[in-house]
Structure 1
Amino acid sequence: MTAATPRRRTLLGAALGAALTVGSTAGCSAGHDPVRTLRLATGPEGGPYNAFGRSFTEAVAHSGRLTLTPVGSSASVENLQQLADGSVDLALTTADVAEDAVLGHAAFDRPIGLTALARVYVNYLHLLAPADGPVRQLADLAGRRVATGAVGSGNQVTAGRLLRQAGIDVRQHPLGLAESLEALRSGELDAVFWSGGVPTPAVSALARELPLRFVPLDAVAALLRERYGPVYTAVTLPACAYGLPDPVATLGVGNYLTARPAVPEDAVRRLLGILFDQWATLLRSVTAGARLEPRFAVSTGAVPLHPGAAAYYRSVYG
């Protein structure tokens, strides 16, 4: 982490310099601008992106001269595809999907114009199975019925990479969170991958009904970090999160708030001002105990900061 810090500061410095020369014609008379509406791609109903999007929309609505319209989706991949075709102005996405997008890899047949406002919080990859079932470790998934996330979601990307890295073939079910947990409850699935904040309310609710096993993923997490770099981190599900007997080591992946480069700089600065002013309330619905700090928010890897974001962080750092 110490080796990455100077590089990130160099990138931030470059972005801040760009902020001095790259302007937005739409934002030059902000004091007299009409209310500007921006479309924010979030995620499916009941998921953390959707919850964050609703909370952020409400917070922005009270700010004046700027409103957000949340747009539901299956999450990260679809969000960035909508950003690329201009259907939305802002999008939430996982770090691994965002990096694929700027590099033109995997689901993206060409690089897309993408900028970051902030790394907002970290997803924890959960591997859930009934406590009395046959899945006790990752290798036990072989040949079994496993939910790996909805099509177009970051969950599906992360779970798929982990399974390929581990060399495990499963009977994949491309289901969202609500459908996955219901199928696990009814016995139609043997395990569920879920990437989200801690605790995820829907997972907590199921854990109160059905004794669950949370399978450690740290061994493969380390290999994924070696292969894909710092988009992945080592994290631990705390025992208190779901009433676990012990903490569970797993894989973390950042969540970014991203924007089309054409979004006006003054709008980006206002959005970040609201985000940093109200982060405790905004993150409460998606992950417990998280903090939003500029030194972590600027850690967006291969995704460049929006010039308006660079200007905002320059004002924070002084």
Structure 2
Amino acid sequence: MRRLIGAAVAAVLIACGFAAHAEESEFDPAKVSDSLKAIFQFGSVQTKQALNANTVTLITGTIGGTYVQFGADLASLLDDGNSLRVLPIVGRGSVQSVADILFLQGVDLGVVRADTLDYLERKGFAKDIKKQFTYVTKLYNEEMQVIAPRAVRNLRDLEGRRVSVDLPNGGTFVTALTVFERLGLRANFLYIEQRIAMEKLKRGELDAVIVVGGKPYKSVSNFVNDGRFHLVNVDYDRPLQNDYLPATLTAKDYPNLIAEGEKVDTIAVPAVLAAYNWAPNTDRYRKLATFVDAFFTKFPAFQNPPFHPKWKEVSLSAPLAGWQRLPAASKWLETHAMEGAQRDRFDDFLKQSSAGKALPTEADREALFKQYQAWEAEKTGSARAQARPQR
């Protein structure tokens, strides 16, 4: 009987692995349903362990934001049965995500804004907080979008005015407060959820709504403009240039708020895929390393439809000042940079010899390349040993 149950569970896990693929397959949907029934009938401690072993939990952002869409993209492309499952969670924004990565059980990764940790330290909420974090990669730049009546031409026009900066556990208020402080401006900041704030703006109960997020940001795109409102220019003044980047918004991004042929200057702040700084010998670190290998290997696919257009801005190797990169991510980048150079040398060798013509399939070429890597590693090791000074 125990063997029967074990076999059933094994079959379930294999079947669920096939079912989890985002890609099309010829797997019979009815069999998937049968496998799920078997999980509930024969589920055991082993089933629980198998389902949790390689599940990576990612805290994202609020509904409708770019963080949520990135989380969905990662799950869609990286889910690989029991080898890896990415489980995105709707979050509350950058500040809450920092707390969740540090303290919420089971959260492995999160998307946070680059200026959030500096803000928390500057305001005395935390000390040396960056030492507790690592980053997998810098993601994309998040633009500041300021919706206001047409009479408001720049941020200085909002001095003393009623400005909504989203909820206080997000990241928009961090960037907004930091920018206004750097420019020496004081506004009457109100913490109101974006959709509600935009309705208040239409009724004249607010003077501006600030949204910081990757363009095109859903709530800004969905803003129904009767012609009274526009996006305000944010000048790239010197006090902002240490921590922020210049950016531009066009009618292609927001045809509801920018006229064709016009543009709006603004600033942007990087979004970061961050993780807790786990020790390398822990199971949590192992799961992060598994995620990194799958993510970085499949990364080129993210830069094509149907995935979010902001993926095209991501460069895996881009440095992030003041942050330490997850060692598994650094190792992957170093290894594959070396492998790329090795492959170039290998391809040149094949072109100049008759060996390349004798390899009929790609599999044969890969097998020979692995042998070439082993030979080059042995050769390099011998050379280093000979060069080592005698004691």
TM over 0.5: yes
Q: Shift of the alpha carbon at 1:55? A: 2.4
Q: Bigger radius of gyration, 1 or 2?
A: 2
Question: Are positions 1:292 and 2:314 aligned together?
Answer: yes
Q: Which of 246, 254, 261 pairs up with 2:270?
A: 254
CA contact (8 A) 1:117 1:272 kept: no
Rounded Cα–Cα distance in structure 1 between residues aligned with 2:214 and 2:320: 18
- The amino acid across from 1:92 in the alignment is V
- The amino acid across from 1:44 in the alignment is T
Q: Shift of the alpha carbon at 1:260? A: 1.7
Q: Shift of the alpha carbon at 1:37? A: 1.3
Q: 1:169 corresponds to which residue?
A: 186
Q: Shift of the alpha carbon at 1:276? A: 4.2
CA contact (8 A) 1:207 1:242 kept: no
Structure with larger RCO (C-alpha < 8 A, sep 6+): 1
Q: 1:271 corresponds to which residue?
A: 295
The TM-score normalised by the length of structure 1 is 0.77
Question: Are positions 1:53 and 2:65 aligned together?
Answer: no
- The amino acid across from 1:233 in the alignment is L
Paired-residue identity, %:
24
Gap runs ≥5 in structure 2 = 1-49, 279-284, 339-391
Q: 1:114 corresponds to which residue?
A: 133
Rounded Cα–Cα distance in structure 2 between residues aligned with 1:106 and 1:281: 41
Rounded Cα–Cα distance in structure 1 between residues aligned with 2:133 and 2:300: 21
Rounded Cα–Cα distance in structure 1 between residues aligned with 2:93 and 2:173: 10
CA contact (8 A) 1:181 1:203 kept: no
The TM-score normalised by the length of structure 2 is 0.64
Rounded Cα–Cα distance in structure 1 between residues aligned with 2:189 and 2:64: 22
Rounded Cα–Cα distance in structure 2 between residues aligned with 1:34 and 1:126: 40
Determine helix, strand or coil for the equivalent of 1:172: strand
Rounded Cα–Cα distance in structure 2 between residues aligned with 1:41 and 1:239: 31
Q: 1:77 corresponds to which residue?
A: 95
**Is the alpha carbon distance of 1:239 and 1:35 closer, same or farther for their aligned partners in structure 2, counting shifts above 3 Å?**
same
Rounded Cα–Cα distance in structure 2 between residues aligned with 1:174 and 1:118: 30
Where in structure 2 are the equivalents of 1:82-231 lying within 5 Å? Answer: 82-87=100-105, 88-100=107-119, 104-106=121-123, 108-112=125-129, 113-131=132-150, 134-220=151-237, 222-225=238-241, 229=242, 231=243
**Is the alpha carbon distance of 1:197 and 1:207 closer, same or farther for their aligned partners in structure 2, counting shifts above 3 Å?**
farther
Question: Are positions 1:315 and 2:338 aligned together?
Answer: no
Q: Shift of the alpha carbon at 1:306? A: 0.3
Q: 2:246 corresponds to which residue?
A: 234
Moved more, 268-277 or 44-53: 268-277
Q: Shift of the alpha carbon at 1:64? A: 4.7
Q: Shift of the alpha carbon at 1:240? A: 2.7
Determine helix, strand or coil for the equivalent of 2:294: helix
